[in-house]
A = this chain, B = another copy of it.
Protein backbone atom coordinates (compact mmCIF):
# COMPACT_ATOMS: atom_id res chain seq x y z
CA UNK A 1 0.00 0.00 0.00
CA UNK A 2 1.28 3.44 -0.84
CA UNK A 3 1.87 5.74 2.13
CA UNK A 4 1.22 9.45 1.94
CA UNK A 5 2.66 11.75 4.56
CA UNK A 6 3.12 15.49 4.94
CA UNK A 7 0.93 18.38 5.90
CA UNK A 8 -2.72 18.57 4.86
CA UNK A 9 -2.00 20.72 1.82
CA UNK A 10 0.68 18.38 0.52
CA UNK A 11 -1.54 15.35 0.97
CA UNK A 12 -4.50 17.01 -0.75
CA UNK A 13 -2.30 18.07 -3.67
CA UNK A 14 -1.00 14.52 -4.06
CA UNK A 15 -4.55 13.11 -3.98
CA UNK A 16 -5.71 15.66 -6.55
CA UNK A 17 -2.93 14.70 -8.95
CA UNK A 18 -3.88 11.04 -8.62
CA UNK A 19 -7.51 11.87 -9.36
CA UNK A 20 -6.55 13.70 -12.55
CA UNK A 21 -4.71 10.64 -13.86
CA UNK A 22 -7.84 8.52 -13.65
CA UNK A 23 -9.93 10.82 -15.87
CA UNK A 24 -10.56 9.05 -19.16
CA UNK A 25 -11.67 10.38 -22.49
CA UNK A 26 -14.10 7.94 -24.01
CA UNK A 27 -15.07 9.74 -27.20
CA UNK A 28 -15.03 6.51 -29.19
CA UNK A 29 -17.51 4.88 -26.83
CA UNK A 30 -19.69 7.98 -27.00
CA UNK A 31 -19.91 7.75 -30.76
CA UNK A 32 -20.76 4.03 -30.67
CA UNK A 33 -23.40 4.62 -28.04
CA UNK A 34 -24.91 7.48 -30.02
CA UNK A 35 -25.34 5.15 -33.00
CA UNK A 36 -26.87 2.38 -30.89
CA UNK A 37 -29.42 4.80 -29.42
CA UNK A 38 -30.40 6.12 -32.87
CA UNK A 39 -30.78 2.57 -34.14
CA UNK A 40 -33.08 1.66 -31.25
CA UNK A 41 -35.16 4.81 -31.77
CA UNK A 42 -35.61 3.89 -35.44
CA UNK A 43 -35.96 0.12 -35.36
CA UNK A 44 -37.21 -0.67 -31.87
CA UNK A 45 -37.40 -4.35 -30.89
CA UNK A 46 -35.67 -5.42 -34.09
CA UNK A 47 -32.63 -3.35 -33.14
CA UNK A 48 -32.64 -4.77 -29.61
CA UNK A 49 -32.61 -8.33 -30.96
CA UNK A 50 -29.87 -7.56 -33.46
CA UNK A 51 -27.66 -6.05 -30.74
CA UNK A 52 -28.31 -9.00 -28.42
CA UNK A 53 -27.06 -11.28 -31.17
CA UNK A 54 -24.06 -9.09 -31.88
CA UNK A 55 -22.95 -8.20 -28.33
CA UNK A 56 -24.33 -11.04 -26.20
CA UNK A 57 -24.29 -13.84 -28.80
CA UNK A 58 -27.88 -14.68 -27.93
CA UNK A 59 -30.71 -15.11 -30.42
CA UNK A 60 -33.88 -13.95 -28.69
CA UNK A 61 -37.41 -14.94 -29.60
CA UNK A 62 -38.95 -13.03 -26.78
CA UNK A 63 -37.54 -9.95 -25.03
CA UNK A 64 -39.69 -10.32 -21.96
CA UNK A 65 -39.21 -12.82 -19.15
CA UNK A 66 -42.45 -14.59 -18.28
CA UNK A 67 -43.94 -14.78 -14.82
CA UNK A 68 -43.56 -18.54 -15.03
CA UNK A 69 -39.81 -18.30 -15.64
CA UNK A 70 -39.50 -15.95 -12.69
CA UNK A 71 -41.50 -18.19 -10.36
CA UNK A 72 -39.48 -21.26 -11.35
CA UNK A 73 -36.21 -19.38 -10.79
CA UNK A 74 -37.42 -18.27 -7.36
CA UNK A 75 -38.18 -21.87 -6.42
CA UNK A 76 -34.70 -23.01 -7.41
CA UNK A 77 -32.94 -20.52 -5.09
CA UNK A 78 -31.73 -21.89 -1.73
CA UNK A 79 -34.22 -21.17 1.03
CA UNK A 80 -31.62 -19.50 3.28
CA UNK A 81 -30.81 -17.04 0.48
CA UNK A 82 -34.50 -16.23 0.04
CA UNK A 83 -34.79 -15.72 3.80
CA UNK A 84 -31.72 -13.45 3.87
CA UNK A 85 -33.11 -11.40 0.98
CA UNK A 86 -36.45 -11.12 2.79
CA UNK A 87 -34.68 -9.98 5.98
CA UNK A 88 -32.69 -7.40 4.01
CA UNK A 89 -35.89 -6.23 2.34
CA UNK A 90 -37.57 -5.66 5.69
CA UNK A 91 -34.71 -3.42 6.85
CA UNK A 92 -34.47 -1.58 3.53
CA UNK A 93 -38.19 -0.86 3.67
CA UNK A 94 -38.18 0.31 7.30
CA UNK A 95 -35.20 2.63 6.69
CA UNK A 96 -36.46 4.09 3.42
CA UNK A 97 -39.95 4.68 4.78
CA UNK A 98 -38.35 7.32 7.02
CA UNK A 99 -37.37 9.20 3.86
CA UNK A 100 -40.95 9.71 2.74
CA UNK A 101 -41.77 13.36 2.32
CA UNK A 102 -45.08 15.11 2.63
CA UNK A 103 -46.92 17.86 0.82
CA UNK A 104 -46.97 21.23 2.50
CA UNK A 105 -49.35 24.14 2.29
CA UNK A 106 -48.48 27.65 3.43
CA UNK A 107 -51.40 29.96 4.19
CA UNK A 108 -49.60 32.65 6.18
CA UNK A 109 -50.35 35.42 3.69
CA UNK A 110 -53.90 36.74 3.39
CA UNK A 111 -55.67 35.36 0.32
CA UNK A 112 -52.62 33.42 -0.77
CA UNK A 113 -51.99 29.71 -0.74
CA UNK A 114 -48.54 28.39 -1.62
CA UNK A 115 -47.71 24.73 -1.47
CA UNK A 116 -45.67 21.83 -2.65
CA UNK A 117 -46.97 18.44 -3.74
CA UNK A 118 -44.77 15.34 -3.59
CA UNK A 119 -45.72 13.13 -6.54
CA UNK A 120 -44.28 9.74 -7.50
CA UNK A 121 -42.77 9.10 -10.91
CA UNK A 122 -45.12 6.96 -12.98
CA UNK A 123 -42.67 4.48 -14.50
CA UNK A 124 -39.06 3.65 -13.65
CA UNK A 125 -36.45 1.49 -15.39
CA UNK A 126 -33.84 -0.42 -13.40
CA UNK A 127 -30.69 -1.63 -15.14
CA UNK A 128 -29.19 -4.81 -13.68
CA UNK A 129 -25.74 -5.73 -15.03
CA UNK A 130 -25.05 -9.21 -16.37
CA UNK A 131 -21.70 -10.92 -16.50
CA UNK A 132 -20.12 -13.26 -14.01
CA UNK A 133 -21.25 -11.60 -10.80
CA UNK A 134 -24.95 -11.48 -10.01
CA UNK A 135 -25.88 -8.98 -7.33
CA UNK A 136 -29.40 -9.65 -6.03
CA UNK A 137 -28.80 -7.18 -3.20
CA UNK A 138 -28.53 -4.38 -5.78
CA UNK A 139 -31.89 -5.33 -7.23
CA UNK A 140 -33.46 -4.74 -3.80
CA UNK A 141 -31.56 -1.47 -3.31
CA UNK A 142 -32.69 -0.03 -6.65
CA UNK A 143 -36.27 -1.25 -6.67
CA UNK A 144 -37.53 -0.90 -3.10
CA UNK A 145 -37.10 2.89 -2.75
CA UNK A 146 -39.11 3.30 -5.96
CA UNK A 147 -41.87 1.07 -4.58
CA UNK A 148 -41.97 3.12 -1.36
CA UNK A 149 -42.12 6.34 -3.36
CA UNK A 150 -45.28 5.02 -5.01
CA UNK A 151 -43.95 4.37 -8.53
CA UNK A 152 -46.68 2.49 -10.40
CA UNK A 153 -44.58 0.43 -12.79
CA UNK A 154 -41.01 -0.75 -12.36
CA UNK A 155 -39.32 -2.26 -15.40
CA UNK A 156 -36.06 -4.17 -15.11
CA UNK A 157 -33.67 -4.77 -17.98
CA UNK A 158 -30.66 -7.07 -17.83
CA UNK A 159 -28.42 -8.59 -20.51
CA UNK A 160 -29.51 -11.93 -22.03
CA UNK A 161 -27.32 -14.96 -21.70
CA UNK A 162 -27.41 -18.47 -23.11
CA UNK A 163 -27.72 -19.80 -19.57
CA UNK A 164 -30.63 -17.47 -18.89
CA UNK A 165 -30.80 -14.70 -16.29
CA UNK A 166 -29.37 -15.95 -12.95
CA UNK A 167 -32.10 -17.45 -10.75
CA UNK A 168 -31.17 -15.29 -7.78
CA UNK A 169 -31.59 -12.09 -9.83
CA UNK A 170 -35.07 -13.12 -10.89
CA UNK A 171 -35.87 -14.13 -7.31
CA UNK A 172 -34.70 -10.75 -6.01
CA UNK A 173 -36.82 -9.01 -8.65
CA UNK A 174 -39.84 -10.99 -7.49
CA UNK A 175 -39.14 -10.21 -3.82
CA UNK A 176 -38.65 -6.52 -4.58
CA UNK A 177 -41.82 -6.30 -6.65
CA UNK A 178 -40.52 -5.59 -10.15
CA UNK A 179 -43.44 -5.40 -12.58
CA UNK A 180 -41.78 -6.42 -15.86
CA UNK A 181 -38.40 -7.87 -16.84
CA UNK A 182 -36.81 -7.62 -20.27
CA UNK A 183 -33.60 -9.34 -21.29
CA UNK A 184 -31.76 -6.57 -23.05
CA UNK A 185 -28.51 -5.06 -21.84
CA UNK A 186 -25.90 -2.44 -22.69
CA UNK A 187 -26.59 0.88 -24.39
CA UNK A 188 -29.48 -0.72 -26.28
CA UNK A 189 -31.19 -1.56 -22.99
CA UNK A 190 -30.89 2.05 -21.83
CA UNK A 191 -32.14 3.32 -25.21
CA UNK A 192 -35.16 1.03 -25.01
CA UNK A 193 -36.08 2.40 -21.58
CA UNK A 194 -35.49 6.02 -22.61
CA UNK A 195 -37.39 6.00 -25.89
CA UNK A 196 -39.59 2.94 -25.70
CA UNK A 197 -40.04 0.21 -28.34
CA UNK A 198 -42.99 -1.97 -29.39
CA UNK A 199 -42.37 -4.16 -26.33
CA UNK A 200 -40.56 -1.98 -23.81
CA UNK A 201 -42.49 1.02 -22.43
CA UNK A 202 -40.72 4.37 -22.20
CA UNK A 203 -39.90 5.17 -18.57
CA UNK A 204 -39.52 8.48 -16.73
CA UNK A 205 -36.25 7.65 -15.02
CA UNK A 206 -33.48 5.05 -15.30
CA UNK A 207 -31.44 3.85 -12.34
CA UNK A 208 -28.85 1.16 -11.78
CA UNK A 209 -25.17 0.58 -12.44
CA UNK A 210 -23.52 -0.74 -15.58
CA UNK A 211 -20.36 -0.81 -17.66
CA UNK A 212 -18.96 2.09 -19.66
CA UNK A 213 -21.54 1.60 -22.46
CA UNK A 214 -24.41 1.69 -20.01
CA UNK A 215 -23.00 4.71 -18.16
CA UNK A 216 -22.37 6.59 -21.42
CA UNK A 217 -25.86 5.78 -22.69
CA UNK A 218 -27.39 7.02 -19.45
CA UNK A 219 -25.50 10.28 -19.80
CA UNK A 220 -26.68 10.66 -23.38
CA UNK A 221 -30.37 10.06 -22.62
CA UNK A 222 -30.21 12.35 -19.57
CA UNK A 223 -32.82 15.05 -20.12
CA UNK A 224 -35.07 12.80 -22.20
CA UNK A 225 -35.50 10.81 -19.01
CA UNK A 226 -34.14 11.28 -15.51
CA UNK A 227 -31.12 9.22 -14.49
CA UNK A 228 -29.42 8.48 -11.20
CA UNK A 229 -25.78 9.33 -10.68
CA UNK A 230 -23.09 7.82 -12.91
CA UNK A 231 -21.41 5.16 -10.76
CA UNK A 232 -17.63 4.90 -10.68
CA UNK A 233 -15.35 2.39 -8.92
CA UNK A 234 -16.22 1.60 -5.30
CA UNK A 235 -14.40 3.33 -2.44
CA UNK A 236 -13.91 3.04 1.28
CA UNK A 237 -12.26 5.56 3.57
CA UNK A 238 -11.42 4.56 7.15
CA UNK A 239 -10.45 6.94 9.93
CA UNK A 240 -8.71 5.15 12.78
CA UNK A 241 -6.72 5.99 15.89
CA UNK A 242 -4.12 3.96 17.73
CA UNK A 243 -6.63 1.86 19.65
CA UNK A 244 -8.53 0.68 16.54
CA UNK A 245 -8.36 -3.00 15.62
CA UNK A 246 -6.02 -3.61 12.63
CA UNK A 247 -7.71 -6.95 11.86
CA UNK A 248 -11.10 -5.31 11.34
CA UNK A 249 -9.63 -2.43 9.37
CA UNK A 250 -7.71 -4.71 7.04
CA UNK A 251 -10.80 -6.87 6.50
CA UNK A 252 -12.98 -3.85 5.70
CA UNK A 253 -10.40 -2.39 3.30
CA UNK A 254 -10.23 -5.75 1.53
CA UNK A 255 -13.99 -6.06 1.31
CA UNK A 256 -13.87 -2.92 -0.81
CA UNK A 257 -10.80 -3.97 -2.77
CA UNK A 258 -12.26 -7.30 -3.85
CA UNK A 259 -14.98 -5.52 -5.90
CA UNK A 260 -12.80 -4.28 -8.68
CA UNK A 261 -9.14 -3.65 -9.53
CA UNK A 262 -10.05 0.05 -9.66
CA UNK A 263 -11.62 0.07 -6.17
CA UNK A 264 -10.05 2.53 -3.75
CA UNK A 265 -9.29 1.65 -0.12
CA UNK A 266 -7.95 4.50 2.00
CA UNK A 267 -6.89 4.51 5.64
CA UNK A 268 -6.18 7.78 7.42
CA UNK A 269 -4.65 7.46 10.85
CA UNK A 270 -2.56 9.36 13.35
CA UNK A 271 -0.83 6.13 14.36
CA UNK A 272 2.01 4.87 12.14
CA UNK A 273 2.07 1.81 14.37
CA UNK A 274 -1.55 0.97 13.52
CA UNK A 275 -0.82 1.56 9.84
CA UNK A 276 2.03 -0.93 9.91
CA UNK A 277 -0.15 -3.53 11.61
CA UNK A 278 -2.94 -2.99 9.08
CA UNK A 279 -0.50 -3.53 6.22
CA UNK A 280 0.67 -6.81 7.75
CA UNK A 281 -2.93 -7.91 8.27
CA UNK A 282 -3.78 -7.15 4.67
CA UNK A 283 -0.99 -9.40 3.47
CA UNK A 284 -2.11 -12.14 5.83
CA UNK A 285 -5.80 -11.92 4.93
CA UNK A 286 -5.15 -11.57 1.20
CA UNK A 287 -3.39 -14.93 1.09
CA UNK A 288 -6.61 -16.94 1.39
CA UNK A 289 -9.07 -14.70 -0.46
CA UNK A 290 -10.78 -16.22 -3.52
CA UNK A 291 -10.66 -12.85 -5.27
CA UNK A 292 -7.04 -12.33 -4.17
CA UNK A 293 -5.82 -11.16 -7.58
CA UNK A 294 -8.42 -8.43 -7.90
CA UNK A 295 -8.08 -7.27 -4.30
CA UNK A 296 -4.29 -7.31 -4.43
CA UNK A 297 -4.17 -5.20 -7.57
CA UNK A 298 -6.68 -2.73 -6.12
CA UNK A 299 -4.69 -2.42 -2.89
CA UNK A 300 -1.40 -1.99 -4.74
CA UNK A 301 -2.65 0.59 -7.24
CA UNK A 302 -5.34 2.42 -5.35
CA UNK A 303 -4.78 1.55 -1.68
CA UNK A 304 -3.50 4.46 0.39
CA UNK A 305 -2.35 4.90 3.96
CA UNK A 306 -2.31 8.52 4.98
CA UNK A 307 -0.52 9.49 8.17
CA UNK A 308 -1.58 12.70 9.85
CA UNK A 309 -0.79 14.37 13.15
CA UNK A 310 -4.28 15.21 14.39
CA UNK A 311 -7.84 13.96 14.22
CA UNK A 312 -8.85 17.32 12.79
CA UNK A 313 -6.58 16.72 9.79
CA UNK A 314 -8.18 13.31 9.28
CA UNK A 315 -11.54 14.94 8.69
CA UNK A 316 -10.18 17.78 6.55
CA UNK A 317 -8.58 15.30 4.17
CA UNK A 318 -11.42 12.79 4.21
CA UNK A 319 -13.99 15.52 3.49
CA UNK A 320 -11.95 16.41 0.42
CA UNK A 321 -11.88 12.76 -0.68
CA UNK A 322 -15.66 12.55 -0.08
CA UNK A 323 -15.68 8.75 0.05
CA UNK A 324 -18.56 6.53 -0.96
CA UNK A 325 -18.22 4.62 2.35
CA UNK A 326 -16.68 6.15 5.46
CA UNK A 327 -15.82 4.17 8.55
CA UNK A 328 -15.06 6.11 11.73
CA UNK A 329 -13.05 3.77 13.92
CA UNK A 330 -12.13 6.38 16.49
CA UNK A 331 -12.78 6.34 20.22
CA UNK A 332 -16.28 7.75 20.81
CA UNK A 333 -17.12 7.91 17.06
CA UNK A 334 -20.50 9.60 17.41
CA UNK A 335 -18.82 12.67 18.86
CA UNK A 336 -17.25 13.31 15.46
CA UNK A 337 -20.44 13.18 13.40
CA UNK A 338 -20.58 16.95 13.00
CA UNK A 339 -17.08 16.95 11.44
CA UNK A 340 -18.26 14.96 8.43
CA UNK A 341 -19.17 17.14 5.45
CA UNK A 342 -18.96 14.72 2.52
CA UNK A 343 -19.55 10.95 2.58
CA UNK A 344 -22.15 8.66 1.01
CA UNK A 345 -22.64 6.26 3.89
CA UNK A 346 -21.05 6.65 7.31
CA UNK A 347 -20.29 3.65 9.56
CA UNK A 348 -19.60 4.43 13.19
CA UNK A 349 -17.55 2.27 15.51
CA UNK A 350 -15.85 -1.06 15.17
CA UNK A 351 -18.97 -3.22 14.66
CA UNK A 352 -20.49 -1.19 11.85
CA UNK A 353 -18.44 -3.04 9.26
CA UNK A 354 -19.18 -1.71 5.79
CA UNK A 355 -20.73 -4.98 4.47
CA UNK A 356 -23.52 -4.55 7.02
CA UNK A 357 -24.66 -1.67 4.81
CA UNK A 358 -24.18 -3.62 1.60
CA UNK A 359 -26.47 -6.41 2.68
CA UNK A 360 -28.49 -5.88 5.79
CA UNK A 361 -28.87 -2.65 7.75
CA UNK A 362 -31.33 -1.20 5.27
CA UNK A 363 -29.43 1.95 4.33
CA UNK A 364 -28.91 2.05 0.58
CA UNK A 365 -25.75 0.67 -1.00
CA UNK A 366 -26.15 2.64 -4.22
CA UNK A 367 -23.90 5.54 -3.26
CA UNK A 368 -22.03 8.46 -4.81
CA UNK A 369 -18.47 7.48 -5.85
CA UNK A 370 -15.26 9.22 -6.97
CA UNK A 371 -15.73 12.25 -4.75
CA UNK A 372 -19.27 12.97 -5.97
CA UNK A 373 -20.55 12.68 -2.39
CA UNK A 374 -19.80 16.41 -2.41
CA UNK A 375 -23.01 16.89 -4.38
CA UNK A 376 -24.80 13.55 -4.80
CA UNK A 377 -26.80 11.51 -2.30
CA UNK A 378 -27.31 7.81 -1.73
CA UNK A 379 -30.14 6.42 -3.84
CA UNK A 380 -33.33 7.04 -1.92
CA UNK A 381 -37.07 7.53 -2.01
CA UNK A 382 -36.40 11.18 -3.00
CA UNK A 383 -35.02 9.91 -6.33
CA UNK A 384 -38.41 8.55 -7.32
CA UNK A 385 -40.61 11.55 -6.59
CA UNK A 386 -40.79 15.04 -7.99
CA UNK A 387 -42.38 18.15 -6.60
CA UNK A 388 -45.07 20.41 -8.00
CA UNK A 389 -45.61 23.92 -6.71
CA UNK A 390 -49.14 25.16 -6.08
CA UNK A 391 -50.25 28.80 -6.00
CA UNK A 392 -53.64 30.34 -5.37
CA UNK A 393 -54.34 34.09 -5.16
CA UNK A 394 -57.52 35.98 -4.45
CA UNK A 395 -58.23 39.18 -6.40
CA UNK A 396 -57.34 41.24 -3.31
CA UNK A 397 -54.02 39.46 -2.86
CA UNK A 398 -53.21 39.96 -6.54
CA UNK A 399 -54.06 43.65 -6.20
CA UNK A 400 -51.44 43.94 -3.43
CA UNK A 401 -48.86 42.17 -5.59
CA UNK A 402 -49.65 44.05 -8.81
CA UNK A 403 -47.12 46.88 -8.54
CA UNK A 404 -44.13 44.70 -7.74
CA UNK A 405 -45.00 42.30 -10.58
CA UNK A 406 -45.51 44.96 -13.22
CA UNK A 407 -42.39 46.92 -12.21
CA UNK A 408 -40.19 43.83 -12.49
CA UNK A 409 -41.84 42.55 -15.67
CA UNK A 410 -41.35 45.89 -17.41
CA UNK A 411 -37.78 46.18 -16.13
CA UNK A 412 -37.16 42.83 -17.83
CA UNK A 413 -38.88 44.01 -21.00
CA UNK A 414 -41.72 41.52 -20.69
CA UNK A 415 -44.78 43.71 -21.22
CA UNK A 416 -47.21 40.83 -21.76
CA UNK A 417 -46.35 39.61 -18.26
CA UNK A 418 -47.32 42.97 -16.79
CA UNK A 419 -50.51 43.14 -18.82
CA UNK A 420 -51.56 39.62 -17.80
CA UNK A 421 -51.87 40.93 -14.26
CA UNK A 422 -53.29 44.36 -15.14
CA UNK A 423 -56.07 42.96 -17.36
CA UNK A 424 -57.57 41.39 -14.21
CA UNK A 425 -58.26 44.91 -12.93
CA UNK A 426 -59.58 46.62 -16.07
CA distance A351 to B349 in the complex (A): 57
Q: How many copies does the complex hold?
A: 2
CA distance A73 to B71 in the complex (A): 70
Q: Give min CB distance, A126 to chain B, whole Å.
A: 14
Query: Which residues of the other chain, B, contact A382 by a CB distance below 8 angstroms?
Result: 382, 387
Determine the residue in chain B with the shortest Cβ distance to A120: B341
Q: Are B87 and A404 in contact (CB under 8 A)?
A: yes
Q: B27, B122, B251, B380: which contacts A416 (Cβ < 8 A)?
A: B251
Q: Are A405 and B226 in contact (CB under 8 A)?
A: no
Query: Which residues of the other chain, B, contact A285 by a CB distance below 8 angstroms?
Result: 416, 419
Q: Are A415 and B360 in contact (CB under 8 A)?
A: no
Q: Are A355 and B409 in contact (CB under 8 A)?
A: yes
Please give the number of chain A residues whose Cβ is less than 8 angstroms from any Cβ of chain B in the complex. Answer: 127
Query: Which residues of the other chain, B, contact A135 by a CB distance below 8 angstroms?
Result: 412
Q: Are B349 and A393 in contact (CB under 8 A)?
A: yes
Q: Are A356 and B411 in contact (CB under 8 A)?
A: no
Q: Are B420 and A251 in contact (CB under 8 A)?
A: yes
Q: B168, B225, B401: which contacts A360 (Cβ < 8 A)?
A: B401
CA distance A168 to B346 in the complex (A): 44
Q: Are A377 and B372 in contact (CB under 8 A)?
A: no
20 contacts between A and B (CB under 8 A): A84-B404, A84-B405, A88-B408, A99-B116, A119-B341, A137-B408, A204-B375, A255-B419, A258-B414, A258-B416, A285-B419, A289-B419, A291-B415, A351-B393, A353-B393, A355-B409, A356-B401, A364-B389, A377-B386, A377-B387
Nearest first, the 10 closest Cβ-Cβ pairs linking A and B are A226-B375, A251-B420, A355-B417, A84-B404, A377-B387, A363-B389, A258-B416, A345-B389, A255-B420, A348-B392
